Amino acid sequence: GAVVSQHPSWVICKSGTSVKIECRSLDFQATTMFWYRQFPKQSLMLMATSNEGSKATYEQGVEKDKFLINHASLTLSTLTVTSAHPEDSSFYICSAVTGQGPYEQYFGPGTRLTVT
Amino acid sequence: GQSLEQPSEVTAVEGAIVQINCTYQTSGFYGLSWYQQHDGGAPTFLSYNALDGLEETGRFSSFLSRSDSYGYLLLQELQMKDSASYFCAAYHAGNNRKLIWGLGTSLAVNP
């Protein structure tokens, strides 16, 4: 149980275009989802916390108008990278938490974004 | 500020035991988790300590000392497949259960 999927697994887009990444909890309801980005050989950087039915909470330094997050249901959150630039190329990972302990975050497989 | 420190790299041989330490400075500390991440993959949960002491799960054990703001992950009977990055992450008390991540320890297991 506790499976999280992400789609797409990888995407290449041109500079200036927008890309949407979906994160789904397949067999549980996720009241909270987290979006991370990770550069090679580095740690995970939390971008935002997404709660179902409410606006996302962005971490300091993350542009909310550039990284649009929508958590429309208890099983789906989306991250849209708007007007993508090459520096947005990264590994984007979502995670979800259930209402049960021990506070484990279940991670999606990640989306590798390359902006050309 | 909030930070977690762990060694950047550790090397060991198959069958050995390795300990990865993590010291933390976080306000509102709630508990310490450990995650494993293979190259190109997503983190997977290994263990969680909310209370002082040792938690054992198979070949992996994790320890926490709140008074010392310190924890460690112990990996026994190392296998080649254990070569990965290991992250300690502290839970921040609050409704969102946000994790504060260490920079990760790259473990290389050699034959």
> Quick check: B29 and B89 in contact, CB under 8 A?
no
Count of C-beta atoms within a 10 Å radius of residue B52: 12
**Burial grade of B84 (CB within 10 A; 0-12, 13-18, 19 or more):** buried
Distance from B98 to chain A by nearest Cα, in Å? 8
Take residue B101 and report the two structure tokens written for it: 């991540």
CB-based contact, B44 to chain A, within 8 Å: yes
* pLDDT tens by residue, A56-104: 999 999 999 999 999 888 899 999 999 999 999 999 999 998 766 556 7
- β-sheet with B70-75: strand ranges across: B3-5, B18-25, B70-75, B60-65, B53-57
A-facing residues of B in 72-91 (CB < 8 A) are 87, 91
* pLDDT tens per residue, range B16-68: 999 999 999 977 788 899 999 999 899 998 999 989 999 998 999 999 999 99
Judged by CB atoms closer than 8 Å, whether chains meet at A32 and B97 is answered as yes
A102: nearest CA partner in chain B? B48
| DSSP 8-state assignment for residue A56 | P
Mark yes or no for CB contact B45/A105 under 8 Å: yes
**CA nearest A104 in B: which residue?**
B45
